[in-house]
Amino acid sequence: MHDIRAIRENPAAFDAALSRRGLSPVTPAILALDEERRARITAAESATAEQNRASKEVGAAKARGDDAEFERLRALVAEKKAEVARLTDEAKQKDRELEEMLLLIPNLPYPDVPDGEDESGNVEIRRWGHPRNFAFQPLEHYDIPAARDGMDFETAAKLSGSRFVVLSGAMARLQRALAQFMIDLHVEEHGLTETWTPVLVKSEMMLGTGQLPKFAEDSFQTTNGWWLVPTAEVTLTNIVNGVLVEDSYLPRRYVAHTQCFRSEAGSAGRDTSGMLRQHQFEKVEMVSVTRPDESDEEHRRMTRCAETVLERLGLPYRTVVLCTGDMGAGARRTHDIEVWLPGQDKYREISSVSTCGDYQARRMNARFRPQGGGKPEFVHTLNGSGLAVGRTLIAVLENGQEEDGSVTLPQALHPYLRGATRITAEGKLA
């Protein structure tokens, strides 16, 4: 959410920043509503002062025996009391309307974010590794013999519908090994705190990280009001919801492996084959909570954490900075990491690492007390995949596939698979 005072002080700059996202000016409507709210607050304060003056004079009139003045003043007190109540209610209503308006406005991009309308405006900042030269035509993950029997889309469709999968045998083992490898790397080498959180959350938590109210259709809600988390960003970030922490508490770096759920609204017809875009999937999610002056460096650090996973697995990737038109609503800057998928002959997103500034913190009222005193400040929040487990499984299969239908596994996973180095064409670990 945005600071109304900052909008009030420099509306032109606010609209100029939003225009980079392709949005029309919003400050005229915001400031008009803000003025209506403030006018009612001022009027209520004036009416309260008149009520207080009249209340003091009521006793004096009664003591003088001036019945007419006594009745006039008593009626004035009642009138002003009703007026104060009405104006206060109107101010609260205007305040709610203003908050609802501010909650729908996306974050302002940092000045260094490239301008652009869509993904064609994204800018590559580095590459790692070289796509493998195959002596045969590489297959997509669901067609590789080693994986076919362990990925059951037909049974999943019977159980739950489209965009689900049942993994078994080596595929289930491989997915579990990948998640364990990622968690161990982030905890033991990157210093993140392993965390286990619920996958059902209250609406206030979805509001805090920006999924609500604008993007409700992208998530699943239960009949009793809980929401299934789209990622652990929701739970990990909201740990500081409504909390005033000490400076020594920061930075906080969390990592969690969870099931994630997305309705994939608006993605009809996209990536319907295989495991690339599912309603239920697994992610290892990273979240950092920092002081404002440390968030840029933390963004770089988190990006490296995600990249390191791919490097340890030997998977070629490229990192891009998203342009203003392709960036998520809550982000001020986003780095997308795209892994090479030979079956598709292209790079595909496997991680988005975003810095949100104080946008989420204002929605959550998450603040810290600066060292040495001073007024509490809003924290900065960051989040990123470290990595999407299912997409990493796809990348391991496609990059490791062999002409005989088997898959050679990355060395980093061997200890997690009891020494197995490959999956045979028959789908067995060997």
Active site residues: 262, 277, 349, 352, 391
168 annotated to a ligand binding site: no
30 annotated to a ligand binding site: no
CB proximity list for 313: less than 8 A, separation 6 or greater: 392, 395, 396, 410, 412, 413
* Gap between the Cα atoms of 335 and 328, Å rounded: 11
Residue 198 CB-density burial (10 A; 0-12 exposed, 13-18 middle, 19+ buried): middle
DSSP assignment, residue 354? E
351 annotated to a ligand binding site: yes
Strand partners, 128: 317
* Gap between the Cα atoms of 150 and 171, Å rounded: 5
Instruction: Give me the helices (H) in 346-410, please.
Output: 359-364, 389-400
352 annotated to a ligand binding site: yes
233 annotated to a ligand binding site: yes
Please give the distance of CA 340 from its chain centroid, rounded to a whole number.
25
Stated as kind and residue range, the H or E segment containing 228 is strand 227-228
- Exposure class string for 353-368: b at 16+ Cβ within 10 A, else e: bbbbbbbbbbbbebbb
* Gap between the Cα atoms of 164 and 235, Å rounded: 24
Instruction: Report residue 96 as tokens.
Output: 């709610």
263 annotated to a ligand binding site: yes
399 annotated to a ligand binding site: no
Residue 226 CB-density burial (10 A; 0-12 exposed, 13-18 middle, 19+ buried): middle
Closest CA to 271 of 216, 344, 334: 344
231 annotated to a ligand binding site: yes
* Gap between the Cα atoms of 318 and 306, Å rounded: 12
Intra-chain end-to-end CA distance of the chain, in Å: 52
264 annotated to a ligand binding site: yes
Q: 163: phi > 0 → left, psi -120 to 50 → alpha, else beta; which?
A: left
385 annotated to a ligand binding site: yes
304 annotated to a ligand binding site: no
CB 157 within 8 A of CB 415: no
285 annotated to a ligand binding site: yes
CB 108 within 8 A of CB 14: yes
Q: Indicate the annotated binding residues for L-serine.
A: 231-233, 262, 285, 383, 385
Residue numbers in the known binding site are 231-233, 262-264, 285, 349-352, 383, 385
Q: Residues annotated as binding site for ATP?
A: 262-264, 349-352
